[in-house]
Structure 1
Amino acid sequence: MNNDRLIGVGLYTPAEAGKLLRIPPAKISRWLKGHHIQGRYYPPLWTPEISLGDDRVFLGFRDLMEVRVADAFIQVGVSAIRVRSAIEVARDVIGRDRPLSTNRFRTDGREIFLHIVEEDSDGEKRELLLNLFRKQYEFNSILDPILRTVDFGSDGNPLAWWPAGRRLNVVIDPTRSFGQPIDASSSVPTAILAAAAKYDGSIRNTALAYDVSETAVRHAVEFETMMEQRLAA
């Protein structure tokens, strides 16, 4: 992939992704690179959207969101093998290379469902859940709370992620600041604001220097402190 194609995609190493997602980087690498266990090869869950022409693993923003949902499924008891199967089925159903990162997925901890809206001949819409393993429709409504921190486009694809919720006003948007965590109002990276505040020792001076609010600086410091604590954990 040339540098021009990286614009608006986001670029993250497994270590950076792991810090944001609270997932061990080695696990992310295994999921995206494949691995062997006791002589058996387990292929990647999907092919990352970024390749720089070597064996290193990089993630784009869509990969970041895909990993986030895959991990959520696995955390509630869905095996990685079943997640891989769900991805393969969902690709055929909705025609997306990275279906997990769309807003159509739900889980009850045992099965994975694809959220579908159908319109009948009278123009009336109804919401259904397709069980990807039984391949039949379920009429249950299952809420996945992790989707609440993601902004989706009209096509169901993720546009931006609020990694600490919306309270801190910190957003990850692949079209802004190369997908790094930023103050949503000013687009200044939180790492820069937090580092400046630490160096200067003054929230007010940092806010003046970067033309942001003092609240934005405090939120950036809080966010970056949270990221550092995740690394130390």
Structure 2
Amino acid sequence: MDWNRIPEPDADLLDRIRREPRYTITEAARLAGASPQLVRAWLRGRTTTPGGRGFRPVVPHEGPLLSFLDLAEIVVVRGFREGRDGVARISLQRLRVAHEFARHALGIEHPFASRRLFYEGGHIMHEFEGANPGPGRLSIDLGGQFALPYSVQELGEQFDFDTTLDRLALRWFPAGRAVQVVVDPAVAVGRPTIAGRNLRVDVIAGRFKRAGESIDWIAEDLELDREVVEAALRIAA
């Protein structure tokens, strides 16, 4: 089986499972490589002035859990926040306003979880920066054509997207496509698994940490490349 071409479930079912709350703040932060504080502030809003004004929560539900689409957006938020090449880090407040701008421009509830962001987002973010000057860089100028920062562009290669008009994230390869570890909301309740195997990475981590089995033995026993086992252990850490 080509694990880069996993069949899509029924469209209505797929939409529902991608929007169902599945992750705690701690789980989402660990998977996305972000701090729990950043995730909590992004989702719940944070009071930013003595007068009590704060951000509008990006996630509308009140529960403590996040959907797969929420997780995908947090991955992109982390990419925007990296601040590479000496560029000032974008404040979370500014990024939330940019998210709202993109939501209206694209007409999508989860704009940071859409392939359209990676196609059209450079120009959208350039328009936002023109209307809302501030520190940090949300777009880069490629000779008159505008693109997202490289730290965000490369994340688009880690996602599969559906074929609907909104082009929303379908699954995520957190270690890159060369490694067959996938987060698929339709498999194992959205926990990281070995693509095409329905084998959760936390099972692999349990064999390594609790049973004391070596990486080489786990790889041989499960018929996996060593780098896949190593990636599974990193993601499960």
Partner residue in 2 for 1:16: 27
Q: What TM-score does the superposition give when structure 1 sets the normalisation length?
A: 0.70
Secondary structure in 1 matching 2:184: coil
Per-residue CA deviations over 1:109-150 (Å, capped at 9, x if unaligned) read xxxxx707xxxxxxxxxxx82334237xx8514251111111
What is the alpha-carbon distance in structure 1 between the residues aligned to residue 219 and residue 212 of structure 2? 7
- Check 1:45–1:51 CA distance in 2 against 1; reply closer, same or farther (3 A cut): closer
Q: Give the match's secondary structure for 2:207.
A: helix
**Match for 1:86 among 72, 83, 98?**
98
Identical aligned pairs, as a percentage?
26
Question: After superposition, where does 1:63-212 map in structure 2 within 5 Å?
Answer: 63-76=70-83, 77-105=89-117, 115=120, 129-130=123-124, 131-133=126-128, 134=130, 139-142=144-147, 144-155=153-164, 156-198=167-209, 199=211, 201=213, 204=217, 212=222
Give the superposition deviation at 1:26: 1.6
Matched position secondary structure for 1:41: coil
For residues 71 and 87 of structure 1, what CA distance do their matches in structure 2 show?
Answer: 13
Q: 1:183, 1:102 → 2: CA distance?
A: 24
For 1:165 and 1:69, locate their aligned partners in 2 and report how far apart those are by CA, in whole Å. 14
In structure 1, stretches of 5+ residues that fail to align are 107-113, 117-127
Coordinate RMSD, CA, aligned:
3.0
Taking a change above 3 Å as real, the CA distance of residues 206 and 10 of structure 1, as seen in their structure-2 partners, is: farther
Q: How many residues align?
A: 195
Larger radius of gyration: 1
Structure 2 residue runs of 5 or longer lacking an equivalent are 1-14, 84-88, 132-140
Seen in structure 2, the aligned counterparts of structure 1 residues 174 and 228 have a Cα distance that, compared at 3 Å, is closer
